[in-house]
Amino acid sequence: MHQVGEVPVLDLGGVLLVSIQVELLDDTVLALQQDLTERVAETGARGVIIDISSVDIVDSFLARALRDIAAATEVLAARTVLVGMRPAVAITLVELGLTLPGMTTALSVERGLELLDTRLDENYPTRQG
């Protein structure tokens, strides 16, 4: 397993899975953005799944970083899927004026993997915390 700050990045074979479980500092967000983009290039991953089900707020800084990750991976021929956004976060983002245009989203990691045409490894705990 690979780690950016306290954010683990799992390689599921062609798909990188990032599960954000900690309160993010702005620096960690930027490090994640850079690291993920580099890892997509290194591994030739065709997809990135960012699981934000444990994230209780997405402000404009994090939203921009997520959008930039998606844009950069797309240039590298990989698709980024944002999964698990909490309903309260979605409502707040819309009111904030952010609708994340162009980002692919899914309700869960499983659905995200389906979008990327990948089956979930049995070793990955599907329900956490």
Helix (H, G, I), strand (E, B) or coil at 121: coil
Identify residues 65-124 at the interface with another protein (CB under 8 A): 86-89, 91-92, 95-98
**Smallest Cα–Cα separation from 19: which of 34, 40, 4?**
4
Minimum separation from the CB atom of position 120 to another protein (A): 28
Do 84 and 108 touch, CB atoms closer than 8 A? yes
Element containing residue 81 per DSSP (H, E): strand 79-83
Do 65 and 26 touch, CB atoms closer than 8 A? no
Contact mark string toward another protein, 32..51, x via CB under 8 A:
--------------------
Examine residue 64 and tell whether it contacts another protein (CB under 8 A).
Answer: yes
Identify residues 4-33 at the interface with another protein (CB under 8 A): 23, 25-27
The contact set with another protein (CB under 8 A) reads 23, 25-27, 56-61, 63-64, 86-89, 91-92, 95-98
